[in-house]
Structure 1
């Protein structure tokens, strides 16, 4: 099946044709961790990275969508020091065609890197982009829980913000982002049947979360991919 994003199918086909030997030769695991902001993607990525280091003696590269944004920004003529301005431009531009092109380019970079190099890919669209090429994990967290975390985080601009206002802001943001991404990529965030694991992250302690992630990875990699 490959990627779950219809608009990437032709690009995927070209990659599989042009780099067939390199892709077949790449034995590095591919892990994709997705979910909206505040769902704990980085926490899960750290668990995955630690698992491969301790169990398989593999140091997997951790790759965030933002790394591809920088490449695209520079390619579009922006200074790498002005990434915040570039992101604001994408967010507020009336040029929908350009914004969609940037979004698609991000996922193209991710797919190509995954197929040729492997690694741990972190981003909202990562499990959709990687699809059946790798192991996919999707995270969800109630808006109320995210609001509580943000309101108690002194590093956030919303620190001590009213919780009800934060919940509304988070729900509105996720709805807007979800609608935009579904329109661009022709996917549904409600359709998660092809993911290897879907978790309501707030329902588990860190120890329980780690246990479920490791269980999945053991099922996927303990026999065929172990280097022990």
Structure 2
């Protein structure tokens, strides 16, 4: 608790809160939104989720994620709308953005973190979150990611498997959630202490 208060205070003391941008990327089921929400809370920042926006759009259009993904493969404007939203929110500053393309769309991010997890763990998390079988989660996720990889390469020339864009790569399976979040908070704290000029 003291560490969290210190971290938040550090951002405010430096006058960085309105400028700080953290980008959280990774494949589905790695914990992007979970970690982004926690970090946003710790640092007193806004949270913007590309995946959350995609899910809301699917719901609004009365489509499943798979159906919207198929539509996005034919209609570039769907991805562009969501990606432009992430880009605009990042430019405002004072935000944690998460999404598969967050590190590319938030070009001004001060720190870019890629979350990873073994496929089995990712599929288990997705099955639990979406209340589907493990087999269904695996099949759906692999197909979704295959389509997205192709789409992002075609639309933007981005290879989402190229991790060189990230400053930190972190396996979310290694430790309990709370411990993992503390490690990332400490990494960001060290970054703020040594790199950020406010």
Which band: TM-score by shorter chain? 0.7 to 0.9
- The higher radius of gyration belongs to 1
Deviations 1:73-97 (A, max 9, x none): 7xxxxxx98344496764343982x
Can you give the 5+ residue segments of structure 1 that lack an aligned partner in the other structure? Answer: 1-24, 53-58, 74-79
Deviations 1:48-84 (A, max 9, x none): 12331xxxxxx2111122676699x7xxxxxx98344
Cα distance in 1 for residues equivalent to 2:81 and 2:114:
22
Instruction: Please state if 1:211 is matched with 2:182.
Output: yes
Instruction: Please state if 1:141 is matched with 2:132.
Output: no
Q: Identify which of 141, 145, 170 aligns with 1:170.
A: 141
Q: In the alignment, what sits opposite 1:156? A: 130
Alignment length (residue pairs): 183
Q: Identify which of 6, 12, 23 aligns with 1:32.
A: 23
TM-score (norm 1): 0.65
**Aligned-pair distance for 1:102?**
2.2
**Aligned-pair distance for 1:132?**
4.7
Can you give the 5+ residue segments of structure 2 that lack an aligned partner in the other structure? Answer: 1-15
Q: In the alignment, what sits opposite 1:100? A: 76
Instruction: Please state if 1:51 is matched with 2:27.
Output: no
- Superposition map of 1:52-201 within 5 A: 52=43, 59-65=44-50, 82-85=60-63, 90-93=68-71, 96=74, 99-151=75-127, 153=128, 156-158=130-132, 161=133, 163-164=134-135, 166-201=137-172
Deviations 1:103-159 (A, max 9, x none): 1232222212211243111212111211353311111222211222344x3x6341x
Cα distance in 1 for residues equivalent to 2:31 and 2:197:
27
